[in-house]
Amino acid sequence: MAQSLWALWMLAMVTSWLVSRNTAMADRPTAMFIFGDSLVDVGMNNNVPSLARANYRPNGIDYPGGVPTGRFCNGRLISDFLSEYWRIPPALAYDDPANMGETLLNGANFASAGAGILNDTGMVFNKRFPMDQQVDFFREHKEKLIALVGTEEASRILAGASVSITIGSNDFLSNYFIPISPRRARYTLPEYINLLIPELKRQVMSIYEIGARKIVVAGVGPLGCIPFIIAMRFGTNQGRCVEKYQQIAMDFNARLVSLVQELQETLTDATFLYSNAFDLSLQLIQNPALYGFTTVNKACCGRGPYGGLIACNRFDPVCPDRTKYVFWDPFHPTEAVNRLVSQQLLFGPPSVISPMNLSQLFA
């Protein structure tokens, strides 16, 4: 009898929570699901044997409480600012022990540092969760939602959720361009991009088939401008962005734009958005004063030329004013950049996010 009353009480609590949630969330997503790499990772690798982890200081120095959570940043990520704007709880890392019960209704962050479109990307980091595995986790999450709230409500949550995909950089930096790369030995760059795009298409279609209907695909940022690449050309490029890597990013993104358009034409009951991370980031780098930055080619935390050769660690000095730096470490932006990018995703023009921005998507 006591068990029956407990079950009824739990059902009433979940039902009440869902009713209030649905009433209050007409202009925002039902949940957030995040796929990708270290740019959006909130700690997926924290508890696995991986070299790609950030759960140590000085990472998180400007995060609430000054806690290193696993984010590759001095503070908050784009997803953190979006959840704050939408007034919904941030999506936890999928493998976070706290990601259970009603917390599942908020969504999940599957992003894993070192991950790529291809399963062999990031092998140098040991354990990481590539895109295929992240899609499997999404499928598992749906089953957990069904067990919690039933099939109909689970489907509604997935269909109304913000689903973002930020992937691809590691397929170049941690696969094709590693010193001894079987992929580079076998494929030219155009051939390699031709390999990546169909794989990503298959993965996005799987995410759609599981139930996602509002999907944002981010382009690769300006690879040639990250401190790591600039440092590799120390003495020859005078701190400027390296054109070779810029062109690679642009070539990949051109194919990505076509893929997003193709998906929209094929899967007409869903909405696909393309986030132009390349041009948006390049604007900050080329016009820093307009956005309050002073340092665009040097990491706030890192060692070597431009702070770009050795990743930020607990023994490294940190720049005193992180708000003036575009890059936190050799690869990742500062919280200040993430804040600006989140604002552009919410309210920006089609040159930044198309065919509409996030505020229009969830109006």
**Identity at 143, one-letter amino acid code:** E
14 in Cβ contact with 84 (< 8 Å): no
- 201-217 pLDDT tens trace: 999 999 999 999 999 99
Alpha helices in the chain (DSSP H): 2-24, 78-86, 131-149, 151-159, 169-171, 182-186, 189-210, 227-232, 243-266, 277-286, 335-347, 358-361
How far is Cα 344 from Cα 363, in angstroms, rounded to an integer? Answer: 16
Give the pLDDT confidence score for residue 322 in this predicted structure: 98
Fold type of domain 29-225+243-278+332-361: Rossmann fold (3.40.50)
Radius of gyration of the chain (CA): 20
> 3-class DSSP state for residue 173?
helix
Shortest CA distance to 299 belongs to which of 225, 218, 220, 222? Answer: 225
Distance CA 289, CA 111 (A): 32
Which pair of structure tokens corresponds to residue 150? 């039933």
Kind and range of the H or E run holding 238: none
Number of helical H runs and strand E runs in the chain: 12, 8
> What pLDDT is recorded for position 76?
99
- Residue 190 contacts by C-beta under 8 Å, 6 or more apart in sequence? 251
Tell me the whole-structure pTM to 2 decimals.
0.92
- Residue 19's pLDDT is 41
Q: What is the DSSP letter of 166?
A: E
How many Å separate Cα 101 from the centre of its chain?
24
Torsion of CA 352, 355, 361, 363, to 10 degrees: 100
Beta bridge partners, 325, equal: 295
**Residue keyed to tokens 């023009």:** 349
Q: Which residue has the tokens 């295929």?
A: 132
Asked if residues 93 and 84 have their Cβ atoms less than 8 Å apart, the reply is: no
How do the pLDDT tens digits run along the chain, 363 residues long? 433 333 333 333 334 334 444 434 458 999 999 999 999 999 999 999 999 999 999 999 999 999 999 999 999 999 999 999 999 999 999 999 999 999 999 999 999 999 999 999 999 999 999 999 999 999 999 999 999 999 999 999 999 999 999 999 999 999 999 999 999 999 999 999 999 999 999 999 999 999 999 999 999 999 999 999 999 988 687 899 999 999 999 999 999 999 999 999 999 999 999 999 999 999 999 999 999 999 999 999 999 999 999 999 998 999 999 999 999 999 999 999 999 999 999 999 999 999 999 999 999
Residue-level pLDDT at 26: 55
User: Catalytic residue positions?
Assistant: 38, 329, 332
Residue 199 near residue 256 (C-beta atoms within 8 A): no
